[in-house]
Amino acid sequence: MNVMNSASSPLNEETLQPVPTNSGQPRRYGDFPTFPAALDYAAQGEAGFNIYSGKGVLLEALPYKKLREQAIETGLRFLGMGLQPGDRVAIVAESDGDFARIFFGCQYAGLVSAPLPLPVAFAGKEAYLATLRGMITSSGASAVIIPQIIEGWTNDIVSGLGLIFAGSPAELMARPVPDIALPDVGPDALSYLQFSSGSTRFPMGVCVSQRSGMANVAAIAHDGLQVTETGDRCVSWLPLYHDMGLVGFFLTPMTCQLTVDLLPTREFARRPHVWLDLISRNRGTLAYSPSFGYELCARRPASAELDLSSWRIAGIGGDMIRPHILEEFAERFESSGFSKNAFEASYGMAEATLAISFAPLNSGIQTDTVDLAALESKGVAVAPTSPDVPSRTFVLCGKVLPGHGLEVRNSEGTVLGDRQVGTIFVSGPSLMNGYFRRPDATEEVLDSHGWLNTGDLGYMLNGQIVVTGRAKDLIIINGRNIWPQDLEWSAETAISSLRSRDVAVFSLEKDQQEEVVALIQCRATDPDTREGLRSEAASLFRRLHGVDVSVVLVPPHALPQTSSGKLTRAKARTMFLSGAFAPQPEVEPA
């Protein structure tokens, strides 16, 4: 993929000072009717965004006061073009000041932002363009903003879409600021569309209103993270087109007047320790990552001078939580002042704006080890009767946020008790209005009583939710419910050459029977080594899980991921069936 390196202004870091940690104003925890009202208040203090390069060089210091002024001007530019309140503006989301100015400009103008992904997690230009055009079409956008890094693809992205404006942030900012009034933006106005990270062929935008967005960020700040009166500072590399980055480390900090140090998502995998360096350097206290981010940091060389003692909440979200990775990270950085008690498990999804539950703070990762056979055959999570019994360890993801509801139900809709596995349902003021222009899809997940079917499976344990997997990924063989994550994790933890996200497991219908397939990324080229990996994995699956698996070796980086870095089994399955892993190895049950 030929993507130009992002250009930056020639700034001297010695003269450019970062926005300070403390805002110098009384802390408010998102108790505002709208995001513009929240920014109006934050602009009265000293906090804001600091934009860093992938090497940790400060590129822009953007206090909320300055952001407010620039956002209002940007919103007026949109209105001056003829856009009307309620129109959608698609923003290909780079982690920079331009995104902040444009996103909040839309909020002030009553326009609906639609953050879209950069081409970091898609297999090639054509697939990326198809995904992007699908999202733009689905949102019915009137304008599309394309950052400099992919500016050369503008015609491919927008041709034939009949847009009022399509161009770079610089082209947008060159437009005149008209002398007109901003509209009144109320709590029930639509704020933004959040596209699911797995949206591809039929992308659906989650409708987040000002009211539901503010309800979630207020609960995150006050109850989930328990933001302190002074001293808290955020450091994030998370993508601003994904709900964890957008809501967790862009909107929430602003609504409670926190400073954020932002790194470009697209460079994190190459230099993960810049994230840790910034936490150390700027005394960051709040930072989140999916498990794989901690894994990357633990396996790469790090500065011996790191001081991570300020990091009070090291959050994990965006994917199933892998406790062995977190243990490795904690051991690696204990000497740098990191405390394993800082780990904070949480559960959420875009359809609930972001957060649904948080584990108790300062308690680290709490786990529950259950009998795998009982889980698969009886749908109950009970302790193994002996150490030799095949088991699975899950992470407790905390209690539901105040003002929200969470239930685990069976297929008949009956609420289940502790340790009984069922589908997770949630309710409360943070839920989406629905999927944009998709009432059919909305009705499938939102009932008339305001409960959302999350599509996740799990069980309750002492008031906390334990997530076991996605219902649509479940494999059913001979009456057993087999989670693909179980097989993936077994291989990745037991086979030393494998890393997280190296294995994708799914099922196929073959000769009226369900066949389980494991795609395993293999870095070796020696035939004997490859055959050894295939044989070891097949034997492991049979021994630990009692299931025959067809093991197929695929090249490194071949398995598809979503924009947030999750493995996407559905796409891996589709690719496998289409022969994408040619030359296709012979697949025989092991």
Mean pLDDT of 388-409: 95
Taking 90 as the threshold, does the pLDDT of residue 445 lie above it? yes
In single-letter form, the type of residue at position 584 comes to Q
Quick one: DSSP state of residue 242? S
Instruction: Give the max Cα distance, the chain.
Output: 75
Least reliable range by pLDDT among 38-52, 77-91, 184-198: 184-198
**Residue in this structure with the two tokens 């002030």, named with its chain if needed:** 108
User: For residues 484 and 552, what is the distance between their CA atoms, to the nearest angstrom?
Assistant: 15
Tell me the HSE value of 425 on the side-chain side, using a 13 A CA sphere: 20
For residue 109 the two structure tokens come to 């103008």
Residue 415's H or E segment, with its range, is: none
The strand pairing partners of 481, in sequence order, are 476
Taking 70 as the threshold, does the pLDDT of residue 584 lie above it? no
User: For residues 261 and 20, what is the distance between their CA atoms, to the nearest angstrom?
Assistant: 10
User: For residues 289 and 300, what is the distance between their CA atoms, to the nearest angstrom?
Assistant: 16
From residue 175, alpha-carbon distances to 74, 79, 144 in Å are 9, 11, 15
Contact assessment for residue 541 and residue 590, using Cβ atoms and an 8 Å cutoff: yes
User: For residues 480 and 345, what is the distance between their CA atoms, to the nearest angstrom?
Assistant: 28
Closest CA to 173 of 98, 238, 123: 98
First vs last Cα of the chain: how many Å apart? 36
Taking 50 as the threshold, does the pLDDT of residue 379 lie above it? yes
Contact assessment for residue 358 and residue 224, using Cβ atoms and an 8 Å cutoff: yes
Mean pLDDT of 368-378: 92
3-7, 266-270, 398-402, 529-533: which is most confident: 398-402
465-514 pLDDT, tens per residue? 999 988 888 787 766 778 788 888 889 888 989 988 899 998 887 766 67
User: For residues 507 and 475, what is the distance between their CA atoms, to the nearest angstrom?
Assistant: 6
According to DSSP H, which parts of 400-457 are helical?
A: 439-445
Contact partners, residue 459, CB within 8 Å, separation at least 6 = 381, 408, 416, 418, 419, 420, 421, 422, 465, 466, 468
pLDDT, mean over the chain: 91
Taking 80 as the threshold, does the pLDDT of residue 116 lie above it? yes
Query: Which pLDDT score is estimated for 161?
Result: 95
User: For residues 55 and 52, what is the distance between their CA atoms, to the nearest angstrom?
Assistant: 8
User: For residues 449 and 194, what is the distance between their CA atoms, to the nearest angstrom?
Assistant: 23
User: For residues 121 and 110, what is the distance between their CA atoms, to the nearest angstrom?
Assistant: 31
The strand pairing partners of 63, in sequence order, are 48
Taking 80 as the threshold, does the pLDDT of residue 198 lie above it? no
Q: Which residues of 56-95 are buried (b: 16+ CB within 10 A; e: fewer)?
A: bebbbbbbbbbbbebbbbbbbbbbeeebebebbbbbbbbb
Query: Which pLDDT score is estimated for 439?
Result: 95
Query: Which pLDDT score is estimated for 512?
Result: 60
Contact assessment for residue 538 and residue 503, using Cβ atoms and an 8 Å cutoff: no
Taking 50 as the threshold, does the pLDDT of residue 3 lie above it? no
12-55 pLDDT, tens per residue? 445 799 999 999 999 999 999 999 999 999 999 999 999 999 99
User: For residues 376 and 481, what is the distance between their CA atoms, to the nearest angstrom?
Assistant: 4
522-574 pLDDT, tens per residue? 999 899 999 999 999 999 888 887 888 999 999 998 898 765 667 788 788 88
Contact assessment for residue 223 and residue 31, using Cβ atoms and an 8 Å cutoff: no
Q: What are the structural domains of the chain?
A: 35-271 (3.40.50.12780), 367-472 (2.30.38.10), 475-577 (3.30.300.30)
| Strand, helix or coil for residue 180 | coil
Residues present in the chain in total: 590
Query: Which pLDDT score is estimated for 43?
Result: 98
Say how many C-beta atoms besides its own lie within 10 A of residue 153's C-beta: 19
Query: Which pLDDT score is estimated for 490?
Result: 85
Quick one: DSSP state of residue 221? I
Closest CA to 397 of 342, 460, 456, 338: 460
Contact partners, residue 8, CB within 8 Å, separation at least 6 = 53, 59
113-122, 424-433, 486-495: which is most confident: 424-433
User: Residue 272, preceding bond cis, omega within 30 degrees?
Assistant: no
Mean pLDDT of 143-151: 95
Quick one: DSSP state of residue 586? P
**Residue in this structure with the two tokens 């056979």, named with its chain if needed:** 373
For residue 300 the two structure tokens come to 């790469």
Taking 90 as the threshold, does the pLDDT of residue 6 lie above it? no
For residues 23 and 121, which has the higher predicted lDDT (pLDDT)? 23
Say how many C-beta atoms besides its own lie within 10 A of residue 1's C-beta: 10
For residue 7 the two structure tokens come to 């250009």
For residues 267 and 197, which has the higher predicted lDDT (pLDDT)? 267
Contact assessment for residue 342 and residue 421, using Cβ atoms and an 8 Å cutoff: no
Beta strands in 218-376 (DSSP E): 233-236, 259-262, 286-289, 313-316, 343-348, 355-358, 367-371
Residue 204's H or E segment, with its range, is: none
Q: What's the Rg (C-alpha) of the chain?
A: 24
Taking 50 as the threshold, does the pLDDT of residue 206 lie above it? yes
